[in-house]
């Protein structure tokens, strides 16, 4: 379709045009919804609403280590929702429901957990601490039991986790308390060695002086031995003094001697600061330890059931037939409309007057509707019926003289409108010699040309109808006359113009019944030149100088000259002839060829120096036509008239 803005009329036209697509999709959707509802197994669903507490209770705060532990910690809501449908939770649910036992093999446990996951759904209400745990099942009571069990397992596992955290924290605090006690004991012992405190055992006075004296004597002995032997008198005196001091040190408690500390190496002030810090930490840890013991012993849970599960009374699927069928119909209608518009967008043909004029930049001269042809008997048309093998083709062709055989029909009125536009757009502007052609075969160009000629003849014009389709001529069949001699003989010079022109007398002598020939006024103004013998070189004949002279001669002798030509795209005959006539009328059967082929036809005429004056839309549905084409509102023809397909 042309890229123009669609209005409500365009949408309605598309829906009417593609109504069977809409109806088919709608019917399939409704039927599918009905069978789905009838065949589907009823599924029931219920849910439990929980409130998850967010208050965090401090259990231990070990600032000395730079770490803070909190029991009953808050987790992200999305994490808790994921844990509800986790494997471990589902395994515990299956155990409580009796689906598995502790001895069940792992593969079956995984299969049962996966099945339960498909039956469970969880959701968190926005900006709240509420969690909804739901379950679905074919049994309403089982759905309720599953929802309650999942909620119970979640509450139990959450509390177990927090209790475990409390126990672990208590154990950690106990270990820290033991370490602090040992650290303080060690600090006190060092202070007592330095003489800044007292050990639990009594230590003789002067212990630190003896140790210092012994250290000095050994240092001096070490220096002398580098120069003298042990027999040196001064060395012998030093050894005696060292022995005396050692004997005195033998009276010092064992724990003091083993400490290995010298009083002069101990920083008493630093030890006192460390002792004060550890004493404070010990008091704080002791307080936290008591709180941890109290929390561990308590049984308070921070997850509360806000709304318990109820036994569902109606199934979610399979029980609401009316609603399901209604939704199926709505969805089918929407999909049908989408399919209709999709089919319309993919249609490469042009089927509206506005689209044709927009795309080709040519005016639409007329619109010929598609109307079925009523059946007639053989005797109604022919004096001598044609051979059986040709009879069907002849009948189809003869019934195309709509404007003569059924002058009161709607189709005849359409051709009269067409001849009016041809007169003002062609004859009065470009000249009296026009050619009718189409992009492809079977688009109704011969029917349009013949009825246009008859319409002009009925107005009193002296009309010449020339069959210039030298490959598949049909004009002689329509009027029941012989094909030879005709156009080919005149152009080749074997006959004169007067010898080949057929008038009403020739038609009366032909195979069509005389009563039909004389049925309406105007046939006496119609003159016909048939195609003649079919030559092997039609392009050369139509492009010859004799053809040009023939056209000039007939233009001077007749008021209106119409050429029925071959389709323009399959052969070059039409392009050659189009350059010689005054104007070209393109006949387009709606939907038969693509818009690209129609445009190529116009360009081919223009490239051959022809003058396309407009387009005739043939076989157009009434639903596709604009509302201003008022001849469709004329009274219906009287019974017995023969409507026809354009």
Could you tell me the two tokens for 60?
A: 């231990």
- Least reliable range by pLDDT among 385-389, 448-452, 497-501: 385-389
- Least reliable range by pLDDT among 8-22, 119-133, 299-313: 299-313
Q: Under 8 Å CB-to-CB from 399, ≥6 apart: which residues?
A: 373, 376, 381, 405, 642, 644
User: Does the residue 388 lie in any domain?
Assistant: yes
pLDDT band at 584 (very low <50, low <70, confident <90, very high): very high
User: Does the residue 573 lie in any domain?
Assistant: yes
Segment 417-434 shows an average pLDDT of 86
User: Does the residue 34 lie in any domain?
Assistant: yes
For residue 583, report the phi and psi dihedrals to the nearest 5 degrees: -160, 160
Segment 371-394 shows an average pLDDT of 59
Tell whether 229 and 303 lie within a shared domain: no
pLDDT for 500 equals 93
Segment 105-114 shows an average pLDDT of 88
User: Domain limits at 419?
Assistant: 364-633
pLDDT for 19 equals 87
Tell whether 553 and 593 lie within a shared domain: yes
pLDDT band at 210 (very low <50, low <70, confident <90, very high): low
pLDDT band at 77 (very low <50, low <70, confident <90, very high): low
Tell whether 241 and 371 lie within a shared domain: no
Tell whether 243 and 148 lie within a shared domain: no
Could you tell me the two tokens for 356?
A: 């044709």
Segment 598-610 shows an average pLDDT of 91
Q: Are 588 and 357 in contact (CB under 8 A)?
A: no
Tell whether 119 and 243 lie within a shared domain: no
Tell whether 77 and 210 lie within a shared domain: no
pLDDT for 1 equals 41
DSSP E strand stretches across 424-576: 433-438, 463-467, 526-529, 560-564
User: Does the residue 279 lie in any domain?
Assistant: no
Q: Are 592 and 449 in contact (CB under 8 A)?
A: no
pLDDT of residue 98 exceeding 50, the answer is yes
- CB < 8 Å & 24+ apart, contacts of 116-124: 116/90, 116/146, 117/85, 117/90, 119/143, 119/146, 120/84, 120/85, 120/90, 120/146, 120/150, 122/81, 122/84, 122/85, 123/81, 124/77, 124/78, 124/81
Dist. CA 11–CA 21, nearest whole Å: 15
pLDDT for 532 equals 92
Tell whether 456 and 557 lie within a shared domain: yes
pLDDT for 497 equals 92
Tell whether 461 and 605 lie within a shared domain: yes
Tell whether 81 and 96 lie within a shared domain: yes
User: Does the residue 389 lie in any domain?
Assistant: yes
pLDDT of residue 398 exceeding 80, the answer is no
Q: Under 8 Å CB-to-CB from 450, ≥6 apart: which residues?
A: 400, 401, 465, 475, 478, 564
Q: Are 263 and 252 in contact (CB under 8 A)?
A: no
Percent of the chain at pLDDT above 90? 18
Dist. CA 526–CA 518, nearest whole Å: 12
Dist. CA 33–CA 42, nearest whole Å: 14
Give the chain's mean pLDDT.
77
Segment 59-64 shows an average pLDDT of 40
Tell whether 83 and 22 lie within a shared domain: no
Dist. CA 46–CA 144, nearest whole Å: 6
pTM for the predicted model, two decimal places: 0.51
pLDDT of residue 232 exceeding 60, the answer is yes
pLDDT for 66 equals 38
- CB < 8 Å & 24+ apart, contacts of 195-202: 195/263, 196/268, 196/271, 196/272, 199/253, 199/255, 199/256, 201/253, 201/255
pLDDT band at 568 (very low <50, low <70, confident <90, very high): very high
Dist. CA 464–CA 36, nearest whole Å: 68
CATH number, domain at 523?
A: 3.40.50.300
Dist. CA 183–CA 275, nearest whole Å: 8
- Least reliable range by pLDDT among 100-104, 213-217, 423-427, 640-644: 640-644
Could you tell me the two tokens for 626?
A: 């604009």
pLDDT of residue 120 exceeding 70, the answer is yes
User: Does the residue 423 lie in any domain?
Assistant: yes
User: Does the residue 122 lie in any domain?
Assistant: yes
- Least reliable range by pLDDT among 2-16, 202-216, 330-344: 202-216
pLDDT band at 394 (very low <50, low <70, confident <90, very high): low
pLDDT for 644 equals 39
pLDDT band at 300 (very low <50, low <70, confident <90, very high): low
Residues 400-420 have pLDDT tens digits of 777 877 787 888 888 888 888
CA dihedral 284, 287, 289, 295 (to 10 degrees): -140
Higher pLDDT, residue 498 or 629:
498
pLDDT of residue 379 exceeding 50, the answer is no
Segment 509-516 shows an average pLDDT of 77
What is the total count of domains within the chain?
A: 4
CATH number, domain at 138?
A: 3.30.70.1130
Could you tell me the two tokens for 420?
A: 């009016």
User: Does the residue 535 lie in any domain?
Assistant: yes
pLDDT for 296 equals 67
Tell whether 28 and 48 lie within a shared domain: no
pLDDT for 530 equals 94
Cα angle 486, 491, 497 (rounded to 5 degrees) comes to: 60
Tell whether 391 and 494 lie within a shared domain: yes
Q: Are 154 and 89 in contact (CB under 8 A)?
A: yes
DSSP three-state, residue 433: strand
Q: Under 8 Å CB-to-CB from 271, ≥6 apart: which residues?
A: 187, 190, 191, 194, 196
pLDDT for 469 equals 92
Segment 519-525 shows an average pLDDT of 84
pLDDT band at 299 (very low <50, low <70, confident <90, very high): low
Percent of the chain at pLDDT above 70? 76
């Amino acid at each position: 379709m042309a890229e123009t803005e669609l209005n409500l009329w365009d949408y309605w036209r598309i829906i009417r045009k593609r109504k069977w697509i809409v109806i088919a999709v709608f019917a399939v959707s409704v039927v599918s919804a009905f069978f789905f509802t009838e065949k589907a197994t009823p599924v029931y669903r219920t849910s439990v609403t929980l409130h998850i507490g967010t208050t965090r209770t401090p259990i231990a705060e070990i600032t000395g280590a730079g770490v803070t532990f909190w029991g009953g910690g808050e987790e992200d809501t999305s994490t808790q929702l994921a844990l509800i449908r986790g494997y471990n939770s589902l395994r515990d649910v299956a155990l409580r429901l009796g689906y598995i036992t502790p001895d069940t093999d792992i593969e079956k446990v995984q299969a049962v957990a996966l099945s339960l996951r498909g039956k469970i759904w969880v959701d968190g209400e926005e900006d709240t601490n509420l969690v909804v745990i739901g379950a679905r099942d074919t049994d309403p009571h089982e759905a309720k039991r599953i929802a309650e069990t999942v909620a119970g397992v979640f509450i139990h596992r959450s509390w177990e986790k927090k209790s475990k955290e409390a126990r672990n924290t208590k154990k950690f605090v106990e270990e820290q308390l033991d370490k602090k006690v040992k650290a303080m004991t060690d600090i006190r012992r060092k202070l007592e060695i330095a003489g800044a405190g007292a050990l639990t055992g009594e230590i003789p006075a002067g212990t630190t002086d003896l140790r210092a004296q012994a250290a000095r004597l050994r240092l001096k002995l070490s220096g002398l031995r580098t120069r003298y032997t042990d027999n040196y008198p001064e060395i012998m005196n030093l050894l005696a003094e060292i022995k005396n001091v050692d004997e005195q040190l033998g009276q010092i408690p064992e724990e003091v001697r083993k400490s290995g500390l010298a009083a002069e190496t101990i920083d008493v002030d630093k030890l006192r600061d460390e002792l004060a810090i550890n004493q404070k930490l010990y008091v704080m840890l002791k307080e936290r330890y008591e709180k941890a013991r109290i929390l561990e012993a308590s049984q308070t849970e921070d997850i509360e059931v806000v709304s318990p599960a109820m036994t569902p009374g109606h199934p979610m699927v399979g029980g609401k037939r009316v609603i399901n069928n209604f939704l199926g119909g709505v969805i089918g209608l929407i999909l049908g409309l989408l399919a209709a518009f999709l089919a319309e967008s993919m249609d490469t043909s042009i089927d509206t007057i506005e689209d044709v004029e927009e795309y080709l930049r040519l005016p639409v001269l007329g619109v010929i509707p598609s109307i079925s042809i009523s059946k007639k008997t053989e005797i109604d048309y022919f004096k001598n019926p044609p051979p059986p093998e040709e009879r069907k083709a002849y009948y189809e062709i003869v019934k195309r003289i709509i404007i003569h055989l059924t002058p009161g029909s709607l189709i005849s009125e359409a051709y009269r409108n067409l001849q009016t536009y041809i007169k003002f757009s062609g004859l009065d502007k470009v000249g009296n010699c026009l050619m009718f052609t189409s992009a492809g075969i079977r688009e109704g160009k011969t029917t349009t040309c013949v009825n246009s000629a008859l319409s002009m003849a009925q107005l009193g014009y002296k009309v010449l109808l020339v069959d210039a389709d030298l490959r598949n001529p049909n004009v002689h069949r329509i009027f029941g006359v012989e094909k030879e001699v005709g156009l080919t003989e005149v152009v080749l010079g074997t006959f004169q113009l007067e010898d080949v022109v057929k008038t009403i007398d020739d038609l009366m002598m032909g195979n069509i019944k005389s009563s039909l020939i004389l049925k309406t006024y105007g046939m006496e103004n119609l003159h016909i030149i048939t195609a003649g013998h079919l030559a092997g070189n039609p392009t050369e004949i139509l492009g010859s100088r004799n053809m040009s002279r023939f056209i000039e001669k007939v233009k001077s002798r007749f008021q209106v000259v119409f050429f029925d030509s071959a389709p323009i795209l399959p052969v070059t005959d039409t392009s050659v002839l189009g350059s010689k006539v005054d104007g070209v009328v393109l006949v387009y059967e709606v939907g038969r060829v693509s818009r690209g082929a129609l445009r190529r036809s116009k360009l081919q005429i223009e490239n051959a120096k022809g003058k396309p004056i407009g387009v005739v839309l043939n076989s157009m549905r009434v639903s596709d036509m604009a509302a201003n084409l008022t001849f469709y509102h004329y009274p219906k023809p009287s019974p017995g008239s023969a409507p026809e397909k354009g």
